[in-house]
Amino acid sequence: MKIYRYDGSFEGFICAVAACREEGDNQPEFVRDRDDHAVGLFAADVREVLSVRETALAFRKLFIAVASRDAFAVARYAFHSQKSGIEELLWRYLKLGLEVGPKLARMLAQEPVHAVNRIARQVSHEAHKFKGFVRFSEVAEGFLYARIEPQADILPLIAHHFTERVGDRPWMIHDIGRSQAAVFDLKSWWLVRDIELVAEPDISTAEQQFADLWQRYFQRLAITERHNPKLQQKHVPLRYRKHLTEFNWVR
Protein backbone atom coordinates (compact mmCIF):
# COMPACT_ATOMS: atom_id res chain seq x y z
CA MET A 1 0.00 0.00 0.00
CA LYS A 2 1.34 3.40 -0.95
CA ILE A 3 0.13 6.74 0.37
CA TYR A 4 -0.08 9.69 -2.01
CA ARG A 5 0.13 13.09 -0.34
CA TYR A 6 -1.11 16.08 -2.34
CA ASP A 7 -1.79 19.77 -1.67
CA GLY A 8 -5.54 19.43 -0.98
CA SER A 9 -6.72 20.97 -4.26
CA PHE A 10 -8.74 19.15 -6.89
CA GLU A 11 -5.92 19.71 -9.36
CA GLY A 12 -3.48 18.16 -6.89
CA PHE A 13 -5.77 15.18 -6.35
CA ILE A 14 -6.00 14.55 -10.09
CA CYS A 15 -2.20 14.61 -10.24
CA ALA A 16 -2.17 12.01 -7.45
CA VAL A 17 -4.62 9.85 -9.42
CA ALA A 18 -2.39 10.16 -12.48
CA ALA A 19 0.59 9.06 -10.36
CA CYS A 20 -1.37 5.99 -9.18
CA ARG A 21 -2.10 4.99 -12.78
CA GLU A 22 1.51 5.54 -13.77
CA GLU A 23 2.72 3.22 -11.01
CA GLY A 24 -0.06 0.66 -11.49
CA ASP A 25 -1.21 1.05 -7.89
CA ASN A 26 -4.67 -0.49 -7.39
CA GLN A 27 -4.99 0.14 -3.64
CA PRO A 28 -3.76 3.67 -3.04
CA GLU A 29 -4.48 5.89 -0.08
CA PHE A 30 -4.57 9.66 -0.26
CA VAL A 31 -3.77 12.30 2.34
CA ARG A 32 -3.71 16.06 2.15
CA ASP A 33 -0.47 17.82 2.93
CA ARG A 34 -1.73 19.02 6.34
CA ASP A 35 -3.02 15.63 7.45
CA ASP A 36 0.29 14.31 8.73
CA HIS A 37 -1.47 12.50 11.59
CA ALA A 38 -3.21 10.30 9.01
CA VAL A 39 0.11 8.92 7.79
CA GLY A 40 1.24 7.46 11.12
CA LEU A 41 3.52 4.44 10.92
CA PHE A 42 3.47 4.37 7.13
CA ALA A 43 5.47 7.58 6.64
CA ALA A 44 8.14 5.67 4.74
CA ASP A 45 5.58 4.70 2.08
CA VAL A 46 4.41 8.24 1.39
CA ARG A 47 4.86 9.67 -2.07
CA GLU A 48 4.76 13.46 -2.31
CA VAL A 49 2.76 14.47 -5.38
CA LEU A 50 3.32 17.91 -6.84
CA SER A 51 0.37 19.78 -8.31
CA VAL A 52 1.30 20.21 -11.98
CA ARG A 53 -1.37 21.85 -14.09
CA GLU A 54 -0.25 20.15 -17.31
CA THR A 55 -0.55 16.72 -15.65
CA ALA A 56 -4.05 17.46 -14.35
CA LEU A 57 -5.17 18.80 -17.73
CA ALA A 58 -3.79 15.73 -19.52
CA PHE A 59 -5.75 13.39 -17.22
CA ARG A 60 -8.88 15.52 -17.60
CA LYS A 61 -8.56 15.39 -21.38
CA LEU A 62 -8.12 11.60 -21.28
CA PHE A 63 -11.08 11.02 -18.96
CA ILE A 64 -13.41 13.27 -20.97
CA ALA A 65 -12.42 11.50 -24.19
CA VAL A 66 -13.01 8.04 -22.70
CA ALA A 67 -16.00 8.72 -20.41
CA SER A 68 -17.59 12.17 -20.65
CA ARG A 69 -17.25 15.81 -19.66
CA ASP A 70 -20.28 15.53 -17.36
CA ALA A 71 -18.80 12.56 -15.52
CA PHE A 72 -15.63 14.55 -14.82
CA ALA A 73 -17.71 17.48 -13.55
CA VAL A 74 -19.51 15.08 -11.19
CA ALA A 75 -16.14 13.98 -9.80
CA ARG A 76 -15.09 17.58 -9.26
CA TYR A 77 -18.24 18.52 -7.35
CA ALA A 78 -18.06 15.38 -5.21
CA PHE A 79 -14.42 16.14 -4.35
CA HIS A 80 -15.40 19.53 -2.93
CA SER A 81 -17.68 17.84 -0.40
CA GLN A 82 -14.52 17.15 1.62
CA LYS A 83 -16.22 14.08 3.08
CA SER A 84 -14.05 11.55 4.83
CA GLY A 85 -12.77 8.93 2.37
CA ILE A 86 -13.90 10.91 -0.69
CA GLU A 87 -10.52 10.46 -2.41
CA GLU A 88 -10.65 6.66 -2.35
CA LEU A 89 -14.27 6.76 -3.53
CA LEU A 90 -13.35 9.06 -6.42
CA TRP A 91 -10.34 6.92 -7.27
CA ARG A 92 -12.67 3.97 -7.81
CA TYR A 93 -15.08 6.17 -9.80
CA LEU A 94 -12.40 7.60 -12.10
CA LYS A 95 -10.77 4.21 -12.55
CA LEU A 96 -14.14 2.67 -13.48
CA GLY A 97 -14.83 5.48 -15.91
CA LEU A 98 -11.62 4.78 -17.79
CA GLU A 99 -12.59 1.10 -17.95
CA VAL A 100 -16.24 1.34 -19.06
CA GLY A 101 -16.26 4.68 -20.87
CA PRO A 102 -19.63 6.37 -21.60
CA LYS A 103 -21.48 3.53 -19.83
CA LEU A 104 -20.42 5.15 -16.55
CA ALA A 105 -23.29 7.65 -16.82
CA ARG A 106 -25.83 4.81 -16.98
CA MET A 107 -24.52 2.93 -13.96
CA LEU A 108 -26.37 5.11 -11.46
CA ALA A 109 -27.56 2.19 -9.32
CA GLN A 110 -24.07 0.76 -8.89
CA GLU A 111 -21.23 1.76 -6.62
CA PRO A 112 -19.18 3.87 -6.62
CA VAL A 113 -21.24 5.71 -9.26
CA HIS A 114 -24.33 6.03 -7.08
CA ALA A 115 -22.45 7.46 -4.08
CA VAL A 116 -20.37 9.89 -6.13
CA ASN A 117 -23.41 11.23 -7.98
CA ARG A 118 -25.38 11.61 -4.73
CA ILE A 119 -22.56 13.56 -3.07
CA ALA A 120 -22.04 15.70 -6.18
CA ARG A 121 -25.74 16.64 -6.21
CA GLN A 122 -25.54 17.73 -2.58
CA VAL A 123 -22.55 19.97 -3.29
CA SER A 124 -24.12 21.35 -6.46
CA HIS A 125 -27.30 22.19 -4.55
CA GLU A 126 -25.39 24.06 -1.87
CA ALA A 127 -23.29 25.94 -4.44
CA HIS A 128 -26.47 26.99 -6.24
CA LYS A 129 -28.00 28.20 -2.96
CA PHE A 130 -24.99 30.33 -2.13
CA LYS A 131 -25.08 32.07 -5.49
CA GLY A 132 -28.19 33.74 -4.10
CA PHE A 133 -27.19 33.91 -0.45
CA VAL A 134 -23.84 35.73 -0.65
CA ARG A 135 -24.23 39.27 0.72
CA PHE A 136 -21.49 41.77 -0.05
CA SER A 137 -20.79 44.79 2.12
CA GLU A 138 -18.71 47.79 1.12
CA VAL A 139 -15.80 48.29 3.49
CA ALA A 140 -14.07 51.59 4.15
CA GLU A 141 -11.14 50.61 1.91
CA GLY A 142 -13.51 50.60 -1.08
CA PHE A 143 -13.83 46.92 -1.92
CA LEU A 144 -16.70 44.50 -1.28
CA TYR A 145 -16.51 41.84 1.41
CA ALA A 146 -18.75 38.85 2.11
CA ARG A 147 -18.65 36.05 4.67
CA ILE A 148 -19.96 32.51 4.18
CA GLU A 149 -19.90 29.29 6.20
CA PRO A 150 -20.85 26.49 3.79
CA GLN A 151 -20.78 22.80 4.63
CA ALA A 152 -18.89 21.92 1.43
CA ASP A 153 -15.85 23.62 -0.05
CA ILE A 154 -17.93 25.53 -2.60
CA LEU A 155 -15.84 28.69 -2.90
CA PRO A 156 -13.88 27.45 -5.96
CA LEU A 157 -17.22 26.47 -7.54
CA ILE A 158 -19.02 29.82 -7.17
CA ALA A 159 -16.23 32.42 -7.47
CA HIS A 160 -16.44 32.64 -11.28
CA HIS A 161 -20.17 33.37 -11.03
CA PHE A 162 -19.44 36.53 -9.05
CA THR A 163 -16.70 37.71 -11.42
CA GLU A 164 -19.49 38.03 -14.00
CA ARG A 165 -22.21 39.27 -11.68
CA VAL A 166 -20.08 41.71 -9.65
CA GLY A 167 -17.30 42.36 -12.12
CA ASP A 168 -17.13 46.14 -11.70
CA ARG A 169 -15.81 46.16 -8.14
CA PRO A 170 -12.93 44.36 -6.39
CA TRP A 171 -14.27 41.89 -3.84
CA MET A 172 -13.46 39.16 -1.36
CA ILE A 173 -15.65 36.19 -0.38
CA HIS A 174 -14.38 34.77 2.90
CA ASP A 175 -15.09 31.15 3.86
CA ILE A 176 -14.61 31.56 7.58
CA GLY A 177 -14.74 27.89 8.51
CA ARG A 178 -11.93 26.98 6.10
CA SER A 179 -9.89 30.16 6.59
CA GLN A 180 -9.78 30.82 2.86
CA ALA A 181 -11.04 33.53 0.55
CA ALA A 182 -11.69 34.14 -3.12
CA VAL A 183 -10.25 37.52 -4.11
CA PHE A 184 -11.16 39.42 -7.30
CA ASP A 185 -9.10 42.36 -8.59
CA LEU A 186 -11.27 43.38 -11.60
CA LYS A 187 -9.21 41.11 -13.86
CA SER A 188 -9.26 37.63 -12.35
CA TRP A 189 -9.91 35.83 -9.09
CA TRP A 190 -7.64 33.60 -7.02
CA LEU A 191 -7.91 31.56 -3.86
CA VAL A 192 -6.03 32.70 -0.74
CA ARG A 193 -5.61 30.28 2.15
CA ASP A 194 -4.93 30.81 5.87
CA ILE A 195 -7.07 33.93 6.08
CA GLU A 196 -8.09 34.83 9.63
CA LEU A 197 -10.52 37.57 10.61
CA VAL A 198 -8.82 39.31 13.54
CA ALA A 199 -11.32 42.21 13.68
CA GLU A 200 -14.66 43.15 12.21
CA PRO A 201 -14.36 44.83 8.79
CA ASP A 202 -14.80 48.61 8.88
CA ILE A 203 -18.06 48.99 6.96
CA SER A 204 -18.47 52.25 5.02
CA THR A 205 -21.09 54.79 6.11
CA ALA A 206 -23.02 54.43 2.86
CA GLU A 207 -23.09 50.64 3.26
CA GLN A 208 -24.50 50.91 6.78
CA GLN A 209 -27.22 53.28 5.56
CA PHE A 210 -28.20 50.94 2.73
CA ALA A 211 -28.19 47.95 5.10
CA ASP A 212 -30.52 49.78 7.49
CA LEU A 213 -32.89 50.69 4.65
CA TRP A 214 -32.91 47.13 3.33
CA GLN A 215 -33.59 45.65 6.76
CA ARG A 216 -36.48 48.05 7.40
CA TYR A 217 -37.92 47.36 3.96
CA PHE A 218 -37.70 43.61 4.57
CA GLN A 219 -39.53 43.97 7.89
CA ARG A 220 -42.29 46.21 6.58
CA LEU A 221 -42.80 44.14 3.43
CA ALA A 222 -43.84 41.16 5.54
CA ILE A 223 -47.58 40.53 5.91
CA THR A 224 -48.31 39.60 9.52
CA GLU A 225 -51.30 37.43 8.61
CA ARG A 226 -49.19 35.39 6.26
CA HIS A 227 -46.26 34.85 8.62
CA ASN A 228 -45.13 31.25 8.07
CA PRO A 229 -41.80 30.46 9.81
CA LYS A 230 -41.76 26.83 8.68
CA LEU A 231 -42.12 27.75 5.02
CA GLN A 232 -39.52 30.49 5.40
CA GLN A 233 -37.06 28.06 6.96
CA LYS A 234 -37.67 25.63 4.11
CA HIS A 235 -36.56 28.20 1.54
CA VAL A 236 -33.93 29.91 3.70
CA PRO A 237 -32.65 27.42 6.33
CA LEU A 238 -31.35 28.84 9.57
CA ARG A 239 -27.74 27.91 8.79
CA TYR A 240 -27.75 30.35 5.84
CA ARG A 241 -29.07 33.33 7.75
CA LYS A 242 -26.12 34.26 9.94
CA HIS A 243 -24.56 36.41 7.21
CA LEU A 244 -27.73 37.58 5.41
CA THR A 245 -28.27 41.31 5.85
CA GLU A 246 -32.05 41.05 5.80
CA PHE A 247 -32.10 38.72 8.82
CA ASN A 248 -29.88 40.94 10.97
CA TRP A 249 -32.72 43.04 12.29
CA VAL A 250 -32.34 46.68 13.15
CA ARG A 251 -33.06 47.21 16.83
> 194-216 pLDDT, tens per residue?
888 777 777 777 767 666 666 66
d(CA 92, CA 53): 22
Taking 80 as the threshold, does the pLDDT of residue 232 lie above it? no
Q: Is 78 left (phi over 0), alpha (psi -120 to 50) or beta?
A: alpha
Up-side HSE of residue 64: CA atoms within 13 Å toward CB?
A: 11
Residue with the bigger pLDDT between 52 and 208: it is: 52
Does 15 score more than 70 pLDDT?
A: yes
| pLDDT band with cut points at 50, 70 and 90 for residue 69 | very high
243 CB neighbour count, 10 Å cutoff: 17
Q: What percentage of residues in the chain have a pLDDT greater than 90?
A: 62
- Cβ atoms of 33 and 8 within 8 Å: the answer is yes
The answer, yes or no, to whether the previous bond of 28 is cis (omega within 30 of 0) is no
- Distance of alpha carbon 1 from alpha carbon 22, whole angstroms: 15
Quick one: pLDDT band at residue 8, thresholds 50, 70, 90? very high
Please state the rounded mean pLDDT for residues 67-87. 97
pLDDT at 176 over 50: yes
Digit-coded pLDDT (tens) for 96-139: 999 999 999 999 999 999 999 999 999 999 999 999 989 898 88
Closest CA to 20 of 57, 59, 72, 54: 59
Does the pLDDT of residue 180 top 80, yes or no? yes
Which is more confident, 26 or 176? 176
pLDDT of residue 250 exceeding 50:
no
Interval 68-83 mean pLDDT: 97
Torsion of CA 49, 55, 56, 57, to 10 degrees: 170
pLDDT at position 251, please?
39
Residue 49: what pLDDT?
94
Average pLDDT over residues 80-89: 95
pLDDT for the residue numbered 217: 62
pLDDT at 26: 84
